[in-house]
Structure 1
C-alpha cells in the first residue's frame, strides 16, 4: 500500500484529500500544516509520496520541496496548487517535484497523480499542461520568469505581505541578503514598493486575492 504524507495548512482540505486517498486504497501516514513540519516529519514517517500544497505560511511549499529533496534526493513529491499561473508549475517541477495538480482538478485525478508519482513517473493535470504549452508557443512569459529561484521565493513572500525580517527567518537568510534580493526583484519587475509587487503577483495569478 502506498504511504502518503499530506501537507496543507487547511484541515478541511486535508480531510477531503484523506478521504479520497482512503477510497483509492492509499495509506495516509501523516498530516502536517506547514513546509517546516513536513521537513521535520519526513524522516520519521518515510512516506512513498508527499502531497504538498504550495500556498502555506512560513517557508511555503516550493521551499519545502527544495528542502525535502536536499534531505532525500529520492523523495517523490506531488505539488498541489490553487494557482492558475504557469510560473509555479515550472518552478516546482524544476525544483524536483515529480507531479503538479491544480486543486480545481476532478477528484479522481488525485489518485491517478499519486499513483504515477509513487511509481516515479511525472504527472501534470491536463489544464496545467495545456497552459504551459500555450504560454511557450505564444511567448507569454510572466515577468516573474526573469527572477532567480531565491528571488522568486522572496518575491512571493513579499507579495503576501511578509516583512523582510519574517522572510529572513523563514528562509534562513540574513535580513541584508533578503534586502539584496528585494532590490533585484524591484529592479527586474519595475516595482518601487511592496504594494506594487503585490499587484504584479495578483495580475499574473501568482498569489490569491
Structure 2
C-alpha cells in the first residue's frame, strides 16, 4: 500500500481527492491544510508521495516544495493547483516537483498522475506539455524598481497572495496593492498574473 499526503487548504478538495483515490487504488491517505501541518505530517509519516497545492496560506507553495525536498531529496511531489500558467509549471519542475496537474483537468487524470509519479515518472497533462514545449523565455531589460517593489515582485513569483505579502513584509495590504499598481505601470503589464509571469521569467522568484 502506497501512502499519500494531500496538502490543500480547502477541505472540499481534500475530500474530493480522497473519494477519487478510494476508487482508483489502494492508498493510505494523510492530509494537511497548512504548510506547518504538512511538515509535521511529512516528518511523522514519511509518505511515498505528496499532492501539494501552490496556494497555501502563510507560505508560498514553491517554498513548501523546496523545504520538503531539503528534508527528503527523494520526496515525490505532485503539484495540484488552480494556476495553469506554463511558466509557473516550469518553475515548479525546476524546483523539483515530479508532476503538475491543474484543478481544471479531468478528475480521473489525478489517478493517472499519481500512478506515474509513484512509478518514478514526471507527469504533465498533454496540453500543459505542449505549452511548455513551445514556451520560450525572453528576459528583457528591467526598469528601475525600488527595493520594496522587488521584494513584492519576488514574493508574487513565489505564489503568495497580496495579504500574505503584506504580513511577510510587515506593511499594509493597501501598500502592497499600490506597489503592484506602480509596477504594472512601470512594466506595462495589465494584471497581477502578468506580474507573476514577469517575476518568474526574470528569475526573481528564487
Secondary structure of 1:193's counterpart equals helix
Counterpart of 2:42 in structure 1 is: 42
Distance change (3 Å), C-alpha of 1:19 and 1:132: same
The CA distance in 2 between the partners of 1:48 and 1:143, in whole Å, is 43
* CA RMSD after TM alignment: 3.2
The CA distance in 2 between the partners of 1:107 and 1:163, in whole Å, is 30
The answer for unaligned runs of 5 or more in structure 2 is 143-150, 171-177, 185-189, 198-206
The CA distance in 1 between the partners of 2:160 and 2:29, in whole Å, is 33
Question: Which of 192, 195, 200 in structure 2 is aligned with 1:201?
Answer: 192
The answer for unaligned runs of 5 or more in structure 1 is 145-149, 169-174, 176-191
The CA distance in 1 between the partners of 2:101 and 2:119, in whole Å, is 16
Secondary structure of 2:5's counterpart equals strand
Aligned residues: 179
The CA distance in 2 between the partners of 1:16 and 1:159, in whole Å, is 24
The CA distance in 2 between the partners of 1:197 and 1:158, in whole Å, is 17
TM-score scaled to structure 1, two decimals? Answer: 0.73
Distance change (3 Å), C-alpha of 1:157 and 1:48: closer
The CA distance in 1 between the partners of 2:140 and 2:109, in whole Å, is 27
1:155·1:197 contact (CA, 8 Å) conserved in 2? Answer: no
Counterpart of 2:91 in structure 1 is: 91
TM-score scaled to structure 2, two decimals? Answer: 0.74
